[in-house]
Amino acid sequence: MNLVTVLSIVRVGLGAGALIAPLTAVRSLGMRSENRGESAFLTRMYGVRQLALGGLTLMSGGAPRRVLTQAGIAVDGVDAAAGVVELSRGTLQRRSGLLSVTAGLVGLACGIAGLRQGHQP
């Protein structure tokens, strides 16, 4: 199976999970959720983004799929960079920060590798 397809399926799963059970998603990353309402809201925003990127990529083909994959690469890169910044500031706990950075880098690498496969993603 193409890496872009796998990554898109993972995005849909993560997005759905974040929408359905946002506080569980927050806790699974080891993040604090003192303000449950804000945590749920921000997690759902993340979930919608992942669901949209993954779902649209799965439903598309050709040039639109390539553009959506590139958008996902950009999003994952920004996520990883934001995690590095927040870790360096000490605003993220080490576990959650490392998980976030790693997830962003894995998504970025899978997206790039998927685009470089011998056929259209």
Query: For 50-87, what is each residue's pLDDT tens digit?
Result: 999 999 999 999 999 999 999 999 999 999 999 999 99
The verdict on pTM exceeding 0.85 is yes
Question: Could you tell me if residue 61 is inside a domain?
Answer: yes
Question: Could you tell me if residue 102 is inside a domain?
Answer: yes
In sequence order, which residues have a C-beta less than 8 Å from that of residue 83 and are 6 or more positions away?
A: 92, 97, 98, 100, 101, 104
pLDDT at residue 16 is higher than 60 = yes
Question: Could you tell me if residue 121 is inside a domain?
Answer: no
- CB-based contact 97:82 (threshold 8 Å): no
CA dihedral in degrees (71, 72, 76, 78; nearest 10)? 20
Residue 97 C-alpha from the chain's centroid: 14
Domain count across the chain: 1
Question: Could you tell me if residue 65 is inside a domain?
Answer: yes
Domain ranges, residue 50: 3-116
